Amino acid sequence: MSNKNNSIEQRKTTIGGQALIEGLMMIGPDKRAMAIRDPNGEIVLEYLEKSRTNKIEHIPFLRGPVRIFKQLILGTKALMRSAEIAEPEDEDEENTITQAALYFSVVISIFFSVFLFMILPGVITDLIRTGIGVVADTRGISLLLTMLEGLIRVAIFILYLWLVSRMDDIKRVWQYHGAEHKTIACYEAQMPLTVENIRNFTRFHPRCGTSFLFLVMIVSIIVLAFIGWRSRLINFIVRLLLLPFISAITYEIIRLVGRYDNVVTRAISKPGLAMQRLTTAEPDDSMLEVAIVAMEAVIPDVDGSDEW
């Protein structure tokens, strides 16, 4: 379902968020905050420092990589802080160990992601090419190999999300992800932020990070089709160097999808929305309460200053 109040004009907000451990973070134009449910059942609200805005962040195609990088840093810090609140340690030494473990896990996750989504698809494609005795000596063969690599990357991405979604702890994160989307949808429908209202909205949102990641893979297939197929090492280096360029294009597409509602933008959004069936889940009322606290904390004082 979505909004039952179709007579009310829909707004499109720049407010976004991220699911955390037992809570979520919301980012508004002026404020950013995280709300976490602690072991005692209380909702802990903390405001996060807003980084200085660079002029580059307002220039199309340059702003995307910069904003994504800053969001990655902020999201990592918020995730680690949410772990401290949701699962506090009594001893300082244990807390230090937990912090070190979190930082280590973040580093490992980055290397794992690079291997899984950048190296492995190319290796599998090259093994298939070698196995069937194909030489990438023509434009057509090179294009087919690039497309095959892209499809393998998408398949790995979907399989990875499906496997991760089977974990109990991740299921709760997906529920908070759903709570984030439903709360933003309720706000965009200009309805009061109550559990009863939010409960009725969809957990799927076109401006989600899942949609962005999926679109990155599609854009990469198109861009890399012009580059051609090389050796494994050259392919990896080229893909790594082109990642900021590909993410910049994707970021601008996501902005257009968020701003306009027509046949083209809905078609672009559809695959990403389908992927959100793996990265979101229906939240319970206690999670919606947390989402409301985080959302209300970042709604701008000047009405309309968060318009997309």
Mean pLDDT of 221-250: 93
155 and 2 in contact (C-beta within 8 Å)? no
* pLDDT score recorded for residue 1: 45
Mean pLDDT of 222-247: 93
* pLDDT score recorded for residue 218: 95
Higher pLDDT, 219 or 169: 219
Hey, what are 117's tokens?
A: 């989504």
- CA 150-137-132 angle, to 5 degrees, is 65
* pLDDT score recorded for residue 11: 85
Residues 6 or more apart whose CB falls under 8 angstroms from that of 76 comprise 106
* Mean pLDDT across the chain: 90
pLDDT at 304 over 90: no
pLDDT at 2 over 90: no
pTM of model > 0.85: yes
pLDDT at 101 over 80: no
Mean pLDDT of 115-144: 91
117 and 157 in contact (C-beta within 8 Å)? yes
* pLDDT score recorded for residue 214: 94
* 102: confidence class by pLDDT, cuts 50, 70, 90: low
pLDDT at 271 over 70: yes
The pLDDT > 70 percentage for the chain reads 92
Query: Cα separations (Å) of 95 from 43, 84, 91, 100, 144?
Result: 21, 8, 6, 9, 51
Mean pLDDT of 282-293: 98
Residues 6 or more apart whose CB falls under 8 angstroms from that of 9 comprise 190
Q: How far apart are CA 272 and CA 102, in angstroms?
A: 29
248 and 65 in contact (C-beta within 8 Å)? yes
Helices (H) then strands (E): counts for the chain = 10, 4
Q: How far apart are CA 105 and CA 86, in angstroms?
A: 18
